[in-house]
Structure 1
């Protein structure tokens, strides 16, 4: 059984460690039925069914143990996986499992959750053909991990991580930061990166990367039946040696209304093509943006330090915590801090009601960002020694797990503004 780490949340509830959960592979499209004798087992299974890694699986929990399952499958087809909780003694358990086997499809997998920590019983069940024996109590993470262990091929190629960027308001610089993070990952770590510009009407990735591809993300979304790695490769525009772009058409020739899962297969295919997929999500709230954020491996919210951004950021973070209860909260970037003569909320005051520590606070620097944007270049190409480029490097290290956030350090921009002033004086 997978050994996952656990932490304690502010309400003293035991929750799975986010890093351990991140390592779990998504479960394929399977049907799962559980027959439970206690709420202590039924509730973690129900929670597992709500986890984003189980989004494709269909999970149904019944109260009643192995005898209920036997009666149920006399008239119903068996699913891909049956989970049975049993408090029976080993000898009685084996006898009932033999009766269950008489009414089950031989291809169905069975996991038994028992209350006897008995090595001999475990060996006997494995010889009998049971896929896994778990000793109660169990956690939600145990269930997800064991299902993944059964149905995910351990020899399968690893899939890339998806990092979704979204702005708390329009114009806060979320896309610019997403594109610069993508470029930094590809150059600093010599790693393949795919950028997906999901703002089909007004996307700016093609401008920021100085590209004008004839095809892009629209062709993939409007022809989902054609999506595979070969077709995706034809749609990608090469921006740098290890950086590819799924560009948005950025035209208003048609309306872009999509179903909630419209981008799902595209993102999955992109994750099989590169270790990192950067999702540039527009500032809209639709079924597909909600679904994209709910399923992403990491989320970054960009905001500027003023009241409307604070309200929107809190709404986003609160909603995403509900949608992703087993994942770390979104990362927060405060951008355009220190605009002259503009009243602002301090970084500490902005972060406090959100319950997060900013990943970065980026000072207002219109000359650097303006020159980069107008020339179709990234910040690191425009001025590699600039202090903000160093901030982007730091963010890239944290988002790829190479370093951890310094959560105890108070957020602030004084030292960054000081470095910028020193740089200007020396220039």
Structure 2
């Protein structure tokens, strides 16, 4: 049995015509609840596939145990221990013998345990017989990761539940590259262009600028949520939000240094879950830090945007971010790259095409340096499109809003050489 390799390596998607379709399938799968799963794999391919499933961000709450073995091995194990919420079984057994082989396992399974069977025989009669006898799903090999995750989701995620909103995380490749400005303008663009309820969460608690950029002075914000997770629900969140426009709300940072802001890995998980249930789009403005909690937030977001400026430090840091996020998010699309402050007078810089070719990635947007436009917007507490709708930057933010909400498809990544700048840095 063969399985699909879901490793995402920059530039390789062009070799696989089904890449975009598979990524689209994965994007439709909702995060799974806190359940326990035991998988019993007869082949190395299935074993590797389940390991890949376990690395996926949608399985973050799932307790997964992967075993090499058959249906008999599962029956022997659960004769002495309680069964999990779900058992996934791979089998090559002939249809006429399959129910007989399943009988010992059925005797030791808890009534609430679900079973997914992956077999080699495409037989509608067998499928009906298995479903009639309590098997939750029968899948014909070879199966892919979206197949497995979709099947598990169909069993444990309520189809009548409210759809979850999408989260878009913005992070800068270095300090001062303008990631927050990009995040704020994209949030405003998504909310105004599509009349979509959007929440902008400023996660830079000591130095966040969202309140300044939107000319707000809220008495409460994200600090009250992160330091009192036991109080957090939709009602409490609503009290913490500040209305910036008809469809945009702000979860502001305190921007004060009256305490230390040291957070554990999962400190922002409750907030992200509430945000997903509260609005169709959440924009996460992440500070230029590399900590357990920032890695966790980046790993959970539906989309990631890296903002860089065209210099050597940004090139190095962007490469490191792309590599780290590939490991954190092995089954997701690569992050989007925004190249900002391009063409600053008297500043030596790397040409935009060389910057992108060095990383083997296409820039989602290239924003020219315009001190007057961005300075006026910042000082007046307005967004770029509010200052000048016809400015090239305003059009760029509009295009980004379309891209990040899935209203347009990004062009294929460039297939150029490594580039002399990356060669100078040294490929890891």
TM-score range, shorter chain: over 0.9
| SS of the residue 1:163 aligns to | strand
1:19 deviation in Å? 2.2
Who is 1:165 aligned against? 170
Task: Write the distance in 1 (CA, Å) between the matches of 2:412 and 2:144.
Answer: 27
Q: 1:22 to 1:110 in 2, by over 3 A?
A: same
Matches within 5 A, 1:34-183: 34-183=39-188
Q: TM-score, normalised by structure 2?
A: 0.92
The answer to whether the 8 A contact 2:75-2:104 is kept is yes
Match of 1:206 among 206, 211, 219: 211
1:91 deviation in Å? 2.8
Who is 1:187 aligned against? 192
Aligned alpha-carbon RMSD (Å): 2.0
1:36 deviation in Å? 1.4
Unaligned runs of 5+ residues in structure 2 are 417-428
1:6 deviation in Å? 9.0
Task: Write the distance in 1 (CA, Å) between the matches of 2:31 and 2:300.
Answer: 10
Task: Write the distance in 2 (CA, Å) between the matches of 1:170 and 1:286.
Answer: 15
Q: Does 1:387 align with 2:380?
A: no
The answer to whether the 8 A contact 1:34-1:62 is kept is yes
Task: Write the distance in 1 (CA, Å) between the matches of 2:142 and 2:100.
Answer: 23
Q: TM-score, normalised by structure 1?
A: 0.92
Match of 1:197 among 195, 202, 208: 202
Task: Write the distance in 2 (CA, Å) between the matches of 1:89 and 1:385.
Answer: 67
The answer to whether the 8 A contact 1:83-1:112 is kept is yes
Q: 1:228 to 1:327 in 2, by over 3 A?
A: same
Matches within 5 A, 1:4-23: 10=12, 17-23=22-28
The answer to whether the 8 A contact 2:7-2:330 is kept is no
Unaligned runs of 5+ residues in structure 1 are 412-427
| SS of the residue 1:332 aligns to | strand
1:142-166 deviations in whole A, cap 9, x for unaligned? 1111111111111111111000000
| SS of the residue 1:215 aligns to | coil
Task: Write the distance in 2 (CA, Å) between the matches of 1:407 and 1:133.
Answer: 36
1:309 deviation in Å? 0.5
Q: Does 1:339 align with 2:344?
A: yes
| SS of the residue 1:240 aligns to | coil
Who is 1:255 aligned against? 260
The answer to whether the 8 A contact 2:200-2:249 is kept is yes
Match of 2:278 among 260, 273, 286: 273
Task: Write the distance in 2 (CA, Å) between the matches of 1:7 and 1:282.
Answer: 28
1:17 deviation in Å? 2.5
